[in-house]
Amino acid sequence: MKNLLRVRWIILLLGVAGGVMFLSFRSGDDRSFRLAKNIDIFSSVVKELEMLYVDTIDADKTIREGIDAMLYSLDPYTEYYPEDDQSELEQMLKNSYGGIGSIITWNAKLKRSMIGEPYEGMPAAKAGLKAGDILMAIDGKDLAGKNNQEISEMLRGQAGTGFRLTVQRPGTEKPLDFELVRRAIELPIIPYYAKLDSGVGYINLSTFSGTPAREFRQAFLDLKKQGITSLVIDLRNNGGGLLDEAVDIANYFLPRGKTLVTTRGKLKQLDQAYKTLREPIDPDIPLAVLVNSSSASASEILAGSLQDLDRAVIVGTRTFGKGLVQTTRPLPYGGTMKLTTAKYYIPSGRCVQAIDYQHRNADGSVGRIPDSLTTVFHTAAGREVRDGGGVTPDVEVKQEKLPNILFYLVNDNLIFDYATQYCLEHESIADAHRFHLTDADYEAFKDRVRRADFKYDQQTEKMLKNLKEMAEFEGYLKDAAPEFEALEKKLRHNLDRDLDYFAPQIKEMIAIEIQKRYHYQRGAIIEQLKDDPDLKAACAVLTDTVRYHKILQPIETNK
């Protein structure tokens, strides 16, 4: 009876509060009235559910899902983080979290999580955990039935807290126990940098969260001591982070007092200009910046500002196209809201935002702004650049499509499992620069694939089947039967043929996976760079002074 009275009092108070808000706003403009009206409706829906719905509702879950759906209808970057879910936001802003420092992946056959990739120098690696270790229990509690996300949350926690992890290691009979102590895990901001051939320096920048400007400065100064004469900045797959950090890094190569970014929002106080505040470290060294479709946000600010000021040659493929700025705002009860408050504009005046979330299709979907609707802007030297679709490289490199068979080999963990077996048979390998997968190694992999009864879809077979069905429907199949039969014979599924035909791409993926086991993320990057078309294109530009300067001049002067 007391609980019923309590619910009624809460509903009454909500109703009075909603009514006061409703009446006070109605006397204002129409927009305020509609806002108050809908808040009152939402409050009423929650009250009716709490009082009359046949089952007891989980208020936190129900309202959280309502909030998430409302925010996602605006854009995918505006998000709500309740008090008990701040770790993801903290990791995003600080590039750190409390945990053991390892990627956790899924073993579909065993229906259990396993260690996918321990980070060098982190608790998982220091304790001796290895890729392929199956996670069995935490402090004696069986992990069967739990998915990757649930287990990842269990492995994370306050730095300094400990637990016992039980794993089943391939090649061992009995489970192994490891005592682990969580620590603040900082993902590597610059996992690799080096002096390459012909005096070209290379810096791989993985994020703009944390303190990337400071680490970039240290790496760059070290490379200058080694005698580099030009520099490649690799921003591929860098999803962004802090705007200030991108401006600081650009400042290493640009004069003091240059406006690199301006932000414009609904409120005037959100309009800001970000300028270079210090003297540059090296205003003249030739620069190339590598980008791809996963280079976003702060990556586009750095690449775009260097392009707009004709300070670097951009190489690769068009970037993601995120020209929106997010700000965090505190909410009641320890919550935080990350919301889009402005758009940013780089020196030429363009905004690289590729998707207009405000104007959706009838079904609610959104698409990229077509090139025909973009606007031409000009760099400081007068070169044409466009808004509305990310940063388009000065030197575009055609990306080779991954073969269909490789997707299934990775998805079925066949490459991962082969690397695990390889480690059981090889205590060590050559250093990352000299390691290569031998023909004998690849033959062993092929044998493993055959024995696994590996199946995969061939798109040509699917398309031929669809074409055959359409030909039959339209009455052409009888006359074209011999041609279809000949095609079916030529396109018949042939695993050995595909493993040989796509050997270069498959061998590269295997080598990368093996390198991770011995040389961690640094080894994987070195392996990828051995035959990297983007890096080759960048080095070709940097070592050709005439071509480098010609690219950075207006098209009229190139004639």
Annotation says 348 is catalytic = no
Q: Cβ(394)–Cβ(307) under 8 Å?
A: yes
Annotation says 222 is catalytic = no
What is the length of the chain?
Answer: 559
Secondary structure of 207-226 in the HEC alphabet?
CECCCHHHHHHHHHHHHHHC
Closest CA to 294 of 399, 431, 163: 399
Residue with tokens 């796509």: 502
Please tell me which residue in 40, 133, 234, 308 is annotated as part of the active site.
308
d(CA 503, CA 406): 10
Annotation says 73 is catalytic = no
Dump strand ranges (E) for 366-449: 376-378, 384-386, 395-396
User: What is the Cα gyration radius of the chain?
Assistant: 28
Query: Which residues, at least 6 apart from 69, have a Cβ–Cβ distance to it below 8 Å?
Result: none
Helix (H, G, I), strand (E, B) or coil at 346: coil
* Tokens representing residue 534 in the block: 């983007």
352, 369, 555 from 375: Cα distances, Å:
11, 11, 18
Please tell me which residue in 130, 146, 322, 338 is annotated as part of the active site.
322
DSSP structure class, residue 367? -
d(CA 50, CA 4): 11
Q: Which amino acid appears at position 468 of this protein? A: K
Please tell me which residue in 297, 299, 305, 348 is annotated as part of the active site.
297
Own/partner pairs for 74-79, CB < 8 Å, 24+ apart? 74/340, 74/357, 75/324, 75/340, 75/357, 77/322, 77/324, 77/326, 77/338, 77/340, 78/326, 78/337, 78/338, 78/339, 78/340, 79/337, 79/338, 79/339
Q: Cβ(305)–Cβ(261) under 8 Å?
A: yes
d(CA 80, CA 83): 10
DSSP structure class, residue 195? E
d(CA 545, CA 540): 10
Q: Which amino acid appears at position 11 of this protein? A: I
The residues that are catalytic are 297, 308, 322
